[in-house]
Each structure stands twice: as structure tokens, then as C-alpha cells.
Structure 1
Amino acid sequence: MPLVDWDLATSTAARLGPTGPSVTLSEATAVVADLRRCAEEASEHVAAYTRLVPQLADAPVAVVDRKSWAAENVAGLRTVLGPLADKLNPKIGNVAGAVSSKVAGVQAGTLLAYLSGKVLGQYEVFGNNPGKLLLVAPNVVAVERKLGVDPRDFRLWVSIHEVTHRTQFTAVPWLRDHFVAEIHQFVAATEPSRQVWQQAGKMLDAARGKDGVSLLDAMQTPEQKAVLDRLTCIMTLLEGHAEVVMDGVGPSVIPSVSRIRASFDRRRAAANPLEQYLRRLLGVELKLKQYTQGRAFVAKVIETIGMDGFNHIFDSPQTLPRLDELSSPQSWVDRVAA
């Protein structure tokens, strides 16, 4: 019996996901073609700026709608969370397992439905090796219209960010396996019967909107906390690197990049109260902080020792930043680059 009813998760995400902006068939076709062109152009700019050389074939580009984005993520989650089902099934009875599987399916689908209306692009690494680059066309169109920015400039700007993630995983062959191994270790530390009441209390705090508490915080064991710290370091590095690259490449190829960046940052910060609550509850706030902290870390390291010196960060898992080094870039430089 699967831990999560993935078919139910897929159907729930499709049913609850928001509708996209109004476009004609010809407009939709043009957007898809333009995003593909932007991804291809972005690859050249990212390679020149980062000096990272892909060691694996470039992952495919898929321009998708919100429903397809959710389905791609369900497929990836099904792959990476399979070991968790094997671990927990012996501890859960048939009836309880069936109920919990349905509940988890609805929860996963609801979360993906929410995110499907927010994500502009993603490098999905779980479903296959080395991964797949996803660009969510309706969200890109919706945001560029809301911000009132030049569509071509905005699409290239978004593509540079996501292509940077593809470059990271194709230029650093060990990175995907290491990332997936950490996810598996997080899964292996799951103890379904441990600290039930303590976790229930934390989940209540998350539901109440208590600062610094998300559902992810509430549901993790102490062992998982150690793994999550390492995962946080990886994700903060990768997001920060992508932010630095998109801002570094932008001025030379995107005429309106300064306006786009200013408008986009205002959009990130200006969430309504319900949006802010959902961000805290689901841990999305952590993602937003990763952009800021990661960008500051990467920019400072590059400023200190240059791009070639920074690229030593991808030499091995041991050269990745530690949690305390994210707020002290010089500590990483002293430990690794020196």
C-alpha cells in the first residue's frame, strides 16, 4: 500500500489548481515557442558567466501548464518517497494505511495546487537523471502582465534563473545523487510513532501562524533536523547562485532588467495576510529567505576570490557551505578556497 495515494494527489491538484490567464490559442502557441527560445539563449549566457561546463547532456526543456507542472512533481515525489512507504507500511495497519494514504494524497495535491499558481519555473531532479527543466507558461504570462514588464525581457530573465539550475546539475555530476541521497536520509529518519504529542503541539503552533514554525518544522524528528540543515545549505546555495547569475547576466542582454528586478522584489514582499499565513504554514517563507541569504553569500564569495575561486564550491560535498558559513562567507573562503 503506498504511503501517499499519488493518483488522488494528481487529481486533487488538477481540481483545485487556479485557472491561468486568458489567452488565445495563437497567443499560447507563441508564448511556448518564445519560452523555448529564451531557454536556448539563456544556456549560452549562463555558461559564459558561470564558467561551468556541463559534464552531462542538457536536460530537456518542457513548457507546461499548471496541471502538468503538478503532475510532473507528483511523478518525482512518487519516485523519491517510495522508500518511505516501504519503511512505514509494516508499522501501519491496512485500514489505517488506506485512510492515511488518502489523507496524504489530498494534502499533497492541495499543496501542489497552491504552488502550481506561484512557480514560474523549476528544475525537477527527482523524476529522472539528470532532471527536467520546467517553465510554467501561464504563471510567466500572469506575472509579466501584473508587473507590466516587457514580456521578452521577463521571459529571458526567468529562463536564466532556471537554466542556471540546470547548469548546476549537469556541470556537477555528483550533485543530483548527493541531493537525492540526503532526501533518502531524511526519509530514513522518519519515526511515525515517535514524539506524536510533541509534533502535534508544533503543528498546532504552525496552524496558529506562530513565527518561525511551519508544517515542515512540526513534522521533523531531531535526526531529520540535522539532514534538513544540510539540505537547507544546498538549496540556499543553488538559489543564491541562480539569483546572482540572473542579475549578473541581465544588464548586458535584458534592457529593462533593473525595472524587472525592482518590480519582482516588490511582488515577493507584498503578500496579503492570507498569502503570508500560507507561506509560513507551508514553509515557503524559508524559500524566500534562501534567495536573499544565498544571493548575499554567493556575491560576497565571488567578490572576494572571483568566479573560478567560487566554483570550487562544486568540487565535492565537503566543499559545500555549512549552515554557519551562509552568514559568514569569509569562513567558507578560509576553510575551502584557501
Structure 2
Amino acid sequence: MSDVPFGFGPQDPDDRGRKPEEPGNPFDFNQLGAMLSQLGAMFSNTGTSTGPVNYDLAKQIALQQLAGQGGGLGFTPDQDKAVADAVHLAEMWLDPATALPAGSTRSQGWTARDWVERTLPTWQRLCDPVARRVSGAWVEAMPAEAKEAAGPLLSMLGQMGGMAFGSQLGGALAQLGAEVLTSTDVGLPLGPEGTAALLPANIEKFTEGLELPAGEVLVFLAAREAAHQRLFSHVPWLRQRLLDTVEAFAQGITVDTSALEQLAGQVDPTNPASIEEAMKSGMLEPQTTPEQKAALTRLETLLALVEGWVDVVVAEAVGERLPGAEALRETLRRRRASGGPAEQTFATLVGLELRPRRHRSAAALWKLLGDQYGTEQRDSVWEHPDLVPSAEDLDDPMEFAERFGQTRKALEDPMAELERTLRDEKPGEKPDGSE
């Protein structure tokens, strides 16, 4: 079959050496045909996605980049069995370290390709609110006459914007897929519910420079994955709260109208890459409102609390069983502090940069609660979102621990708490009623 675009015949052999600007061939029809063919292929081969992000294109780009890096390679049956054994062992060690029961019903080894395919539905829930609001803000900010003049081109702009978002997401997913060690490595429940998943190929690369036994690293990471699964499976409000906070951030997105004037002069409608470049340049970067800052603080705090709890529980579970556990714990902290995959992805897609200081503060708070009140009381904090520490509590764990103790006493013996409150309201009166 000929590769020549429809409507253009094969090049005349006598014209092969002639330059486009020479008399007799003032226009290069082959170049025009290639451009039209490329545009046609671009719109027809990027899937049927019609939302604010072209997820078909995102998946296609991510898998292509991973294939080029060798990231889609499989693993041996022995590695798959090692993952299952490591998760099983980790679950037994975790039982006495937390009041939350096992949350995974299956354990699996994943390739980077598996990770992209099985986490994409959750990324869609995370990215859609932001992308939809940004795309809508562009149109809302346009003057009425500009909208009328643009007419049908607005739908094309939306489609090309979805492709630009999809391209950006695809690149981020490829980078993450090549680096993540477990399904919850970014602190979010990205994979199917109840599935503890580890990526043997990525873990093997991660282990190379550690000078620690590979089996020890695998069990430590399996314990972290299993702890995440316990939290996300048995704290029913947590998963939805994370997604709702991202959506709350998206609702406040506004776009500077003056940026649209620059957009008109810098974006080539025949070149979707120019839209992507405009997005990366920050030309259409949303303005941050106080409401958005509050939403980002809530999201950052909640993610820090998740990671801090997992950090403390896993440390208690593995204890002296894994001699290299503390070194691994610190390695993962440094990995995050140096701008690991989680930070880069959130900065790109959501606008959130996680601060390592929050994770350490959260871990200190959970450790304090466990030491003072025991494992069961510590984990009871997750029973209701109103009990969960705030960003201010991470700055003063001692004050939160004291307040938490009073709250638990009130819940356990409400009548005694009522009497204490009444006495506090009358400081000059003794319990027997005398002055």
C-alpha cells in the first residue's frame, strides 16, 4: 500500500532533485500532503476520548515511552511468588502493630505497563476536575465577540487541549511507571481496591545500590504496601476525601484573561505541540486563590498523615526482624525529599508539592499517640475525619495528644466529662456544693 496521503499522487521521478522554491514547482505538495496526513492521523489515532484529558493518548504515550526504556518487561514466576510470600509475611508482622485488619485480598507482581493500565482510572478521577476547570476557564475568560468569531474552532481547541493534557499526563505516567515500587508509592490508593501490588523490576533496580539483601528490601516494601492497603480498606471516608480535596482545589481555578491575548499570538492551531508548550511555559497557569491554598493544605496534610502512619506502623512491625529497616526507612525519606516521583507528578498535574517536613511531623505525632495511648487508641483517630489532626496539629503534636486524651475520656465516660465541665464553669464551688 502506498504511504502517499489521499489526494496526492506519487512524486514525479524527474522532480526528485528539484527544490521547492525553483520555478516550475513553487510549492512543495509533498510537504503539504505530509502535514495533512499527520494532522489526520493525529486526530484519528489518538483514541475516542472526548473529555478534558485524552486518556487514550496518555496511555499510548506512556506505554511507548516505557517500551523505549525497557520498562514494559515482565518478570519470572519466581519473582511473582516472592512478592506473594513477602506480602504474606508482612501481614503477619503487621497484625500486632495496628488495630486495623489486613486490607488486601490478593497480592500481585506488576510490570510498569501493568501499573499504567491499572492505575489510569484513578488518575482520571484525580486529573479530570483540574483539567475540566482549566479548559472551561479558557473559554469563560474569552470576550463574547471572540467566542462568536471562534465558533466551531472552540470545539477543536477543546480537543487539542485534551490532547495536550493527555500528552503531559502520558509523559508523567511513563516517568512514574519506571520508578514506583508499589501501587501506593505516591501515597494514594491508585490501584484496584484490595490488591497489594509490587513492581519486581523497579524494586530490583532500587536495590542495586543499597548493599542490603534483596529479600529484606522486598519484605520491607511489602510491609509498606500492606499497611497502606489496611488504611485505605478500613477507613471508608479516606479515599473519597482525597479525591474531593483535589476537586475542591479545581473549583477555584481562574485564568488571567490577558494571557489569552498572548495565547492567540503564540499558539499554532495546526500544531498541538504549541499548546502543550504554552501550558508548560506557565502562560496559562491558574491564579492561586485563598480557597485553593486551603484545599492544597488539607490535601498535603492528609497525605502526610497517611505516610506518617505507615512509617510508624511498619517500623513497629518489622522491628528487629529486618536489620536494615532503619536504613531503608531513611533511604525512602531521602528519595522523597530529593523530589521523587510523587512530588514531580503532583506538581505537574495538581499543583501540589509535598514537603518532606510534613511527613516527619506526622510520623512524630503518630509515634507520640501510640506511646501515650496504645495502638488501638492511636488507630481510632481514623474513625472519623473530625478526629484527624490538622496542619496546625502537626506543628504542635504535644498539644494534639493532650486534647486527644481529653476527647477519648469524654467519649468513654460522657457523664463524668459533663460533671467536669460544670465544675470548670463554677471555679469557686467545691464538688460537695460548698464555697
Normalising by the smaller structure, the TM-score range is 0.7 to 0.9
One-letter amino acid of the counterpart of residue 7, structure 1: D
Question: 1:153–1:256: 8 Å Cα contact kept in structure 2?
Answer: yes
| Per-residue deviation, 1:179 | 2.6
Q: Are residues 227 and 261 of structure 1, via their aligned partners in 2, closer, same or farther at CA, if it must alter by over 3 Å?
A: closer
Match of 2:212 in 1: 149
Q: Are residues 316 and 281 of structure 1, via their aligned partners in 2, closer, same or farther at CA, if it must alter by over 3 Å?
A: closer
| Per-residue deviation, 1:264 | 5.0
Whole-angstrom distance in 1 between the partners of 2:167 and 2:131: 17
Q: 1:305 aligns with which of 373, 384, 390?
A: 373
Match of 2:230 in 1: 167
Whole-angstrom distance in 2 between the partners of 1:248 and 1:110: 37
Aligned counterparts, 1:62-77, within 5 A: 62-77=108-123
Question: 1:64–1:135: 8 Å Cα contact kept in structure 2?
Answer: yes
Whole-angstrom distance in 1 between the partners of 2:220 and 2:251: 38
Q: Are residues 28 and 105 of structure 1, via their aligned partners in 2, closer, same or farther at CA, if it must alter by over 3 Å?
A: same
Match of 2:417 in 1: none
Match of 1:8 in 2: 57
The secondary structure found in structure 2 opposite 1:166 is helix
The secondary structure found in structure 2 opposite 1:122 is coil
One-letter amino acid of the counterpart of residue 242, structure 2: F
Match of 2:400 in 1: 332
Whole-angstrom distance in 1 between the partners of 2:72 and 2:127: 36
Structure 1, unmatched stretches of 5+, are 201-206, 209-213
| Per-residue deviation, 1:146 | 2.1
One-letter amino acid of the counterpart of residue 294, structure 1: A
**Count of residues paired in the alignment:** 317
Question: 1:160–1:246: 8 Å Cα contact kept in structure 2?
Answer: yes
Does 1:137 pair with 2:200? yes
Q: 1:109 aligns with which of 170, 195, 201?
A: 170
| Per-residue deviation, 1:69 | 1.3
Q: Are residues 33 and 291 of structure 1, via their aligned partners in 2, closer, same or farther at CA, if it must alter by over 3 Å?
A: farther
Question: 2:110–2:197: 8 Å Cα contact kept in structure 1?
Answer: yes
The secondary structure found in structure 2 opposite 1:254 is coil
Aligned counterparts, 1:27-66, within 5 A: 28-53=76-101, 58-66=104-112
One-letter amino acid of the counterpart of residue 103, structure 1: A
| Per-residue deviation, 1:285 | 6.1
Whole-angstrom distance in 2 between the partners of 1:121 and 1:251: 21
Whole-angstrom distance in 2 between the partners of 1:263 and 1:84: 32
The secondary structure found in structure 2 opposite 1:62 is strand
Q: 1:180 aligns with which of 223, 229, 243?
A: 243
Single out whichever of 231-240 and 132-141 deviates more from structure 2.
Answer: 132-141
Answer 1 or 2: higher relative contact order, Cα 8 Å, separation at least 6: 1
Question: 1:125–1:132: 8 Å Cα contact kept in structure 2?
Answer: no
Q: Are residues 20 and 36 of structure 1, via their aligned partners in 2, closer, same or farther at CA, if it must alter by over 3 Å?
A: farther
Does 1:100 pair with 2:161? yes
Q: Are residues 159 and 113 of structure 1, via their aligned partners in 2, closer, same or farther at CA, if it must alter by over 3 Å?
A: same
Match of 1:204 in 2: none
Q: Are residues 280 and 178 of structure 1, via their aligned partners in 2, closer, same or farther at CA, if it must alter by over 3 Å?
A: closer
Question: 1:301–1:310: 8 Å Cα contact kept in structure 2?
Answer: yes
Tell me how large the CA RMSD over aligned residues is.
3.7
Question: 2:104–2:196: 8 Å Cα contact kept in structure 1?
Answer: no
Whole-angstrom distance in 1 between the partners of 2:71 and 2:158: 39
Whole-angstrom distance in 2 between the partners of 1:335 and 1:165: 26
Query: Which structure has the larger Rg over C-alpha atoms?
Result: 2
The secondary structure found in structure 1 opposite 2:51 is coil
Structure 2, unmatched stretches of 5+, are 1-49, 140-153, 264-279, 407-435
The secondary structure found in structure 2 opposite 1:134 is strand
| Per-residue deviation, 1:287 | 5.5
Whole-angstrom distance in 2 between the partners of 1:22 and 1:230: 35
Q: Are residues 269 and 104 of structure 1, via their aligned partners in 2, closer, same or farther at CA, if it must alter by over 3 Å?
A: closer
One-letter amino acid of the counterpart of residue 160, structure 2: V
What TM-score do the two structures reach when normalised by structure 2? 0.62
Aligned counterparts, 1:208-223, within 5 A: 220-223=288-291
Whole-angstrom distance in 1 between the partners of 2:91 and 2:305: 20
Whole-angstrom distance in 2 between the partners of 1:159 and 1:290: 23
Whole-angstrom distance in 2 between the partners of 1:257 and 1:20: 30
Aligned counterparts, 1:182-331, within 5 A: 182-192=245-255, 220-261=288-329, 264=332, 282=348, 286=354, 288-331=356-399
Question: 1:20–1:142: 8 Å Cα contact kept in structure 2?
Answer: no
Does 1:118 pair with 2:179? yes
Cα deviation 1:290-312 (Å, max 9, x = unaligned): 43232222222323333223223
